[in-house]
Amino acid sequence: MSKGKQFELVLKEDWKASMPNSSIDRLYDSVSGYKTISNISDFIGYKMPYIFYLEAKTIKGNTFPFQNLSQYEKLSSKVGIEGVRAGVVIWFYEHDRVIYVPVSTITKMMTDGKKSVNITTIDTEGYRFINIPSVKKRVFMTSDYSVLMATKEGE
């Protein structure tokens, strides 16, 4: 099993552990070559009063290129709906860091001419990211997704 698929399993378990009385569902993964089938995101989570559309990405190195977010159009269609949060959870595993990037931040970055999220500069660029508190275990991080409850409308 790939590191990315393993991260998805860890994300789901950490969500359940850090967000009691919530729900998280992994959408069917259409990697079997059916190009006409595509989901809005990897996960749909719910914790009253918010529904979360979460795409999970595992990155080696410093950058997450926006061209790797094939779900961008579908995720961006959720921006501005009251109670809806849409974004990408990115694990930069060489940096032992997990962040949440709202799709609205990605839109702003693209408008500004950016082509990727760079883990070495996100703290200084002035864009909205949410650090997911995480503790490194042997390989994976144990993360506390309850910080996502502090997201603002449009994130």
Spell out the residues 6+ positions from residue 45 whose beta carbon is closer than 8 angstroms to its own. 15, 19, 22, 23, 24, 25, 51, 52, 54
Q: In this predicted structure, what is the pLDDT of residue 125?
A: 87
Q: In this predicted structure, what is the pLDDT of residue 34?
A: 53
Report the share of the chain in percent with pLDDT over 70: 94
**CA 104 – CA 46 distance, rounded (Å):** 19
Q: In this predicted structure, what is the pLDDT of residue 31?
A: 58
Note the pLDDT tens digit of each residue in 4-60.
889 999 999 999 999 999 999 999 876 555 555 678 999 999 999 999 999 999 999
70-75: Cβ within 8 A, 24+ apart = 70/38, 71/38, 71/39, 71/40, 71/41, 72/103, 72/106, 74/38, 74/39, 74/40, 74/41, 75/40, 75/41, 75/103
CATH of domain 3-146: 3.40.1350.10
Asked if residue 129 has pLDDT above 90, the reply is yes
Q: How large is the greatest C-alpha to C-alpha distance in the chain, in angstroms?
A: 40
Q: What is the mean pLDDT of the chain?
A: 92
Spell out the residues 6+ positions from residue 66 whose beta carbon is closer than 8 angstroms to its own. 72, 106, 109, 110, 114, 115, 116, 117
Query: Which range (8-12, 29-33, 68-72, 103-107) has the least confidence?
Result: 29-33
Asked if residue 124 has pLDDT above 60, the reply is yes
